[in-house]
Amino acid sequence: MYLVTVFGNLLIILATITDSHLQTSMFFFLSNLSLIDIYSSSTTIPKMLVNIQAHSKVITSTGCLTYMYFFMLFEGLDDFILAVMAYNHFMAICHPLYYMVIMNPRLCVLLLLASWIVSALHSLLQSSMVLWLSFCTHLETPPFLCELIQMVQLACSDTCLNDIVVHLAAGLLAGGPFIGIVFSYSKIVSSMHAISSTQGKYKAFSTCASHLMVVSLFYCTSIGVYMSSFSMHSVHTSAQASVMYTVVITMLNPFICSLRNKEIKGAL
């Protein structure tokens, strides 16, 4: 599954770089989403494979914090890139005459750079706050991963400030892009109703279908990981939700994006 994830996403990136027909903002963000999926899976799966082979779940405190930082970084980047892609679809369908002017290469790079900066600062803040906590001498994380919420719950010191920051960040950094996605697609649906021809409606829908599937999978599994992490009694549920998010979704994304896209299939 890891090899399929890496090579599948690499094919998407290679296709968008080499094919001149794919040098647009939509495929620019799609290739960056594939790159982030490679980074995300490479943060988690190699350590998981080592644990399976060695029959050991031991991880150092430094390794745990490093994993936590990169996991939150790429999770946040996924969220922002999906929101930017929704905005790109909104501009392409609702404002086609201004699309090429507004979604120029400079704006695309700025949106991508802003996503990286905000995600990196958020991950640094959360990881730094975990360093301030005191843990007992023997610490065992319930799932196979070092997840932020469970690490905070396992601390022996006061975690009130950590809890506030975790929930505030979840509301702002997850809720903000989600509201943007909902707003973009509400405008797209309104524009689709104004299209008289069935062929035009189908073309508009097919443009967004693969992105909607990726968004649905991302938010459903993210909510599953977030909710199951609060329950210390649902170890297996939390582990299954984490595997679904870190392994299965990153593997499925290139197939979802390519199988419903004629340009990608032609380039491949």
**CA 51, CA 246: separation in Å to the nearest integer?**
16
The counts of H helices and E strands in the chain are 12, 0
Q: How far apart are CA 211 and CA 176, in angstroms?
A: 18
Please give the chain's pLDDT, 268 residues, in tens: 899 999 999 999 998 888 888 888 888 999 999 999 999 889 888 888 887 888 777 777 778 888 888 988 998 899 999 999 999 989 988 888 888 888 999 999 999 999 999 999 999 998 888 877 776 655 555 445 677 777 777 777 777 887 888 888 878 888 889 999 999 989 888 887 777 777 777 777 777 778 888 888 888 777 766 666 555 545 555 566 667 777 888 888 888 877 667 788 888 8
CATH code where residue 96 lies: 1.20.1070.10
- Report the alpha-carbon angle 83-87-93, nearest 5: 140
End-to-end CA, the chain: 20
Task: Quote the number of domains for the chain.
Answer: 1
Range of the domain at 6: 2-267
Q: Which of 31, 39, 33, 32 is nearest to 15 (CA)?
A: 31
List the structure tokens of 202: 């189908």
